[in-house]
């Protein structure tokens, strides 16, 4: 069965094409800054938003037309695998990501769930071999089922901790089976509703316990994916422990997880935390912890996680600049944790939305490469901090001064002249790189 028979493989046709099913900016083999675009971008398609969203919202029924529903949950799951790999192939993406519950029905018991996962991952493995696609990361969904009401590893109920551990064990076995390059933890329910009945230290100690077990089990089965922790400030928990990059890095350091864990940063989560995406990438880069990104965008007029396809080239440019400065993102990638709007309900929208996202990141990459080549930010920053290049500034950086000598210096140099930042001009010049 084919689901997108009427669409050919999507090719680069340039910005003047009027073919909707063509890339206008993403040209996979074009070399930018010494590397093919596809190797800079390492695009991944997210199974959940692509295959399991139906367009329903708290006010209305599903809107999305999807032709892969079968007579049983297992039949639907198998049809989805077919359709998913058709989408990946048509788009020419090389990677994908999934939660355990996205790919297989949970059945009536954990045992049945695991059997279903075995059957579906056999099928996925075949498809991967057939198409040459790779697993960027998988993860265990430990937030949707009612049992995770009070958390997974942070739950007050030890049976829930054990259940979560079983899912992680299975997730790592699947990661090994499919040669996953990364393994993600997003603590959807690892947070709290009220501090009145919560022992924060107890709960975060337990989260770290589960992570250590995961590292040990990976070693035991001879599979060492890059572990990634994904911050998000709120939703679904009122307060999530992994609020943002800095908070999550403090956790990673506190529990000595630096050697095994980096961050998976999502654009929409950054803005929910009151940061820009580039801020979060910059923080991670500073800690050598920029692992992978979830590419999407939020709506700044709304206070929730809308997971829209990324089309804001200002944001993709600044994100790609951080990635270039990081020396790339591998073994991470750019995963489209993005869903089509309720009104984009046709099957074809799944392809069109990804084309829009891939083109927007391609434009971001090209603009970021030009900015880097011209030393745009480098020169700006060099000039802005130039007072540290000589004189008292150089002495401060060389740790040659103390409070007494600085005080002596300040007493003689208290008529301070500040330079203007000309920030408005900087922003206008940056615009020249975007369009
Ligand atoms: C939800 C998260 C989730 C993670 C993986 O907001 O983005 O989808 O990426 O569990
Ligand atoms: Ca995400
Ligand atoms: Ca999100």
Q: Minimum mean pLDDT among 34-38, 181-185, 301-305, 325-329: which range?
A: 301-305
pLDDT tens, residue by residue, 140-183: 999 999 999 999 999 999 999 999 999 999 999 999 999 999 99
Distance 430 CA to ligand 1 centre (A): 32
Instruction: Determine the 3-state secondary structure of 167 from DSSP.
Output: helix
The pLDDT of residue 262 is 99
Q: CA-to-CA distance for 35 and 250, rounded, in angstroms? A: 34
Q: Which atom of ligand 1 is nearest to the CA of 305?
A: 6
The pLDDT of residue 261 is 98
Q: Does ligand 1 have an atom closer than 6 angstroms to the CB of 307?
A: no
Q: Which atom of ligand 1 is nearest to the CA of 335?
A: 9
Q: CA-to-CA distance for 258 and 211, rounded, in angstroms? A: 12
Spell out the SS3 assignment of 387-398.
HHCCHHHHHHHC
The pLDDT of residue 1 is 65
Q: Does ligand 1 have an atom closer than 6 angstroms to the CB of 242?
A: no
pLDDT tens, residue by residue, 359-411: 999 999 999 999 999 999 999 999 999 999 999 999 999 999 999 999 999 99
Phi and psi of 152, rounded to 5°?
Answer: -110, -90
The pLDDT of residue 29 is 98
Q: Check: pTM over 0.85? Answer yes or no.
A: yes
Q: Which atom of ligand 1 is nearest to the CA of 235?
A: 6
pLDDT tens, residue by residue, 48-106: 999 999 999 999 999 999 999 999 999 999 999 999 999 999 999 999 999 999 999 99
Q: Does ligand 1 have an atom closer than 6 angstroms to the CB of 100?
A: no
Residues labelled as active-site residues: 99, 102
Band the pLDDT of 9: cuts 50, 70, 90: very high
Adjacent-strand bridge partners of 57:
60
């Amino acid at each position: 069965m084919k689901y997108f028979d009427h669409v050919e493989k999507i090719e680069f046709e340039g910005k003047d094409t009027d073919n909707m099913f063509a890339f206008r900016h993403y040209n996979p083999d074009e070399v930018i800054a010494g590397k093919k675009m596809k190797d800079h971008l390492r695009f991944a398609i997210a199974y959940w938003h692509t295959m399991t969203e139906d367009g329903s919202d708290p006010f209305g029924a599903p809107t999305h037309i999807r032709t892969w529903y079968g007579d049983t949950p297992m039949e639907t799951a198998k049809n989805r695998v077919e359709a998913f790999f058709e989408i990946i192939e048509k788009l020419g993406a090389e990677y994908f990501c999934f939660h355990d519950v996205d790919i297989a029905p949970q059945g009536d018991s954990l045992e049945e769930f695991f059997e279903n996962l075995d059957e579906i991952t056999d099928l996925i493995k075949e498809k991967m071999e057939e198409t040459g696609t790779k697993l960027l990361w998988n993860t265990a969904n430990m937030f949707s089922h009612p049992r995770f009401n009070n958390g997974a590893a942070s739950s007050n109920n030890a049976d829930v901790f054990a259940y979560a551990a079983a899912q992680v064990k299975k997730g790592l076995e699947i990661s090994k089976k499919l040669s996953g390059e990364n393994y993600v933890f997003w603590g959807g329910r690892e947070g709290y509703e009220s501090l009145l009945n919560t022992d924060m230290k107890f709960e975060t100690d337990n989260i770290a316990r589960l992570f250590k077990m995961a590292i040990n089990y990976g070693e035991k089965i001879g599979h060492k994916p890059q572990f990634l922790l994904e911050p998000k400030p709120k939703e679904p928990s009122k307060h999530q422990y992994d609020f943002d990059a800095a908070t999550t890095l403090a956790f990673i350091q506190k529990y000595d997880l630096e050697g095994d864990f980096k961050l998976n940063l999502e654009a929409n989560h950054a803005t929910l935390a009151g940061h820009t995406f580039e801020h979060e990438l910059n923080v991670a880069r500073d800690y050598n912890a920029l692992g992978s990104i979830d590419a999407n965008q939020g709506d700044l007029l709304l206070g929730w996680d809308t997971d829209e396809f990324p089309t804001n080239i200002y944001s993709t440019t600044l994100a790609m600049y951080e990635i270039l400065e990081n020396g790339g993102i591998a073994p991470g990638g750019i995963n489209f944790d993005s869903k089509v709007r309720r009104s984009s309900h046709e099957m074809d929208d799944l392809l069109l939305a990804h084309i829009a996202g891939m083109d927007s990141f391609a434009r971001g990459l090209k603009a970021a490469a030009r900015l880097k080549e011209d030393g745009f930010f480098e020169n700006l920053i060099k000039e802005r901090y130039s007072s540290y290049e000589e004189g008292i500034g150089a002495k401060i950086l060389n740790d040659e001064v103390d409070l007494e000598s600085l005080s002596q210096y300040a007493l003689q140099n208290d008529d301070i002249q500040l330079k203007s930042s000309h920030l408005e001009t900087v922003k206008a010049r940056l615009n020249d790189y975007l369009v």
